[in-house]
Structure 1
Amino acid sequence: MIVKVCGMREPENIRAIEQAGADWMGFIFFPHSARYVTHCPEYLPEQCRRVGVFVNESTENILLKAQEFGLHYIQLHGRETPEQCRKLKTAGLGIVKVFSIARESDLRPVGCYEGICDYFLFDTACSGYGGSGKTFHWDILQAYQAKTPFLLSGGLRPGSLSSLLQFKHEQWAGIDLNSGFETAPGLKDSAAVHTFINQLKQKIQ
């Protein structure tokens, strides 16, 4: 079970979340986000996979950030095409394509990205590009029939553990934590993250 902690920015908090057991760590390169990373932090995780989060950004700019931050994965939150995903993958980067989910029909576009992306991420549909702090109805995902593994996102918080333990899907590969574990935008409660990861991984292998 992959645990990704997204929206990281502060060096000491990055270090604390890495020590808390996160597998992946997300850095948001979308200027309209409250967690926008304006410069490279003094410390970057050494044990976690580094994930860059982009929204409708050019391939050239994504590749520049990937080099600057030593990114392993690119998470695409906007209207990025399968062709752009393929180009980034050819550059040696893992690709996570995000889909906003409110109803079963929102799963239809995933077919165009099947076989190109390494993971999909299913988030709660909202007026912006994620960060709603709300959870969608996970039972919608029982209609997901593709073979690409996915991460579950949207409104996860310490109280979500019991619901996660009840969720089942053959392609479910991980979760994405963000605002539900924050004390301020871009600043995570490392103790809460550590407790949550330990409890989750004790129950789900």
Structure 2
Amino acid sequence: MAPLIKVCGMTEAENIRKVEQQGVDMIGFIFYPKSPRCLCEIPGYLPAYAKRVGVFVNESKESIFMYADRFGLDYIQLHGNESPEYCRSLHNAGLHLIKAFSVSLPKDLLAVPAYNGVCDYYLFDTKTPQYGGSGNQFDWSLLHHYNGPTPFLLSGGINPYSAKAIKEFRHPYFAGIDINSRFETAPGIKDVERISNFLEELNSK
């Protein structure tokens, strides 16, 4: 089965429309003020076919509900130090969650099981001083220490030359990939041709 494709950090209406036309599964909008890809206002076009994902870092629940309603979000991606209890309360309110974890050592996966049952997906990203967006890839072999049951997306430094490695990656809970900075012409603006060529290679036999 082809992996899910999530394109994160989009900001501009026509760019969103063109990326969606490539057949991606999810488009992510960052609502973290310190991000260079922060979405400050509703763009003139929001995805009609791809799922809409809102990315938050240590945000209040009230704020998340407001954004979820205003932008018609399908998923809430949590990229901060949100606790399992916090995630459970959002889950119980009917929101679909993606919880991000930064990985550089096997011990970084020890916190993950506490979130089982309240997240639709996990997202494993490269550990950085900031919250994601490093443009660097972590050692995917560390994920052999993860044994489920929640499916996950791979993130962190995936670039136009990563297709071969993704096709060779094997894990029973691997669901898809998250691409961002390595497919940009400027922060928040994606290179549609680069994405199109990458997806073509990823889907080739």
Q: Which runs of 5+ in 1 are unaligned?
A: none
Identify which of 172, 179, 189 aligns with 1:177.
179
Whether the 8 Å CA contact 1:9–1:27 is kept in 2: the answer is yes
Deviating 4+ runs (over 3 angstroms): none
| Aligned 1:129-148 pairs, distance under 5 A | 129-148=131-150
Offset of residue 90 of structure 1: 2.1
Question: Which amino acid is 1:71 matched to?
Answer: L
Superposed CA RMSD: 0.9
In structure 2, runs of 5+ residues without a counterpart are none
- Aligned-pair distance for 1:145? 1.1
On the 8 A contact 1:20/1:191 being kept in 2, the answer is no
Work out the CA distance in 2 between the residues paired with 1:196 and 1:114. 32
Matches within 5 A, 1:184-199: 184-199=186-201
| Correspondence 1:102 to 2:104 | yes
Partner of residue 64 from structure 2, selected from 44, 62, 80: 62
What is residue 53 of structure 1 aligned with on the other side? 55
Q: Which moved more, 1:79-88 or 1:92-101?
A: 79-88
Deviation at 1:79, TM superposition (A): 0.7
| Equivalences for residues 112-131 of structure 1 within 5 A | 112-131=114-133
Residue 71 of structure 1 aligns with which residue?
A: 73
**Offset at 1:112?**
0.5
Query: How much has 1:92 moved relative to structure 2?
Result: 2.0
Compute the displacement of 1:13 (Å): 0.2
Q: Residues 9-48 of structure 1: matches in 2 within 5 Å?
A: 9-48=11-50
Kindly state the Cα deviation for residue 199 of structure 1 after the two structures are TM-superposed.
2.3
Normalising by structure 2, report the TM-score. 0.97
Deviation of 1:136 after TM superposition, in Å, equals: 0.3
The CA distance in 2 between the partners of 1:180 and 1:199, in whole Å, is 16
Whole-angstrom CA distance in 1 between matches of 2:101 and 2:9: 18
Cα distance in 2 for partners of 1:202, 1:89 equals 37
Asked if 2 retains the 8 angstrom alpha-carbon contact of 1:21 and 1:194, the reply is no
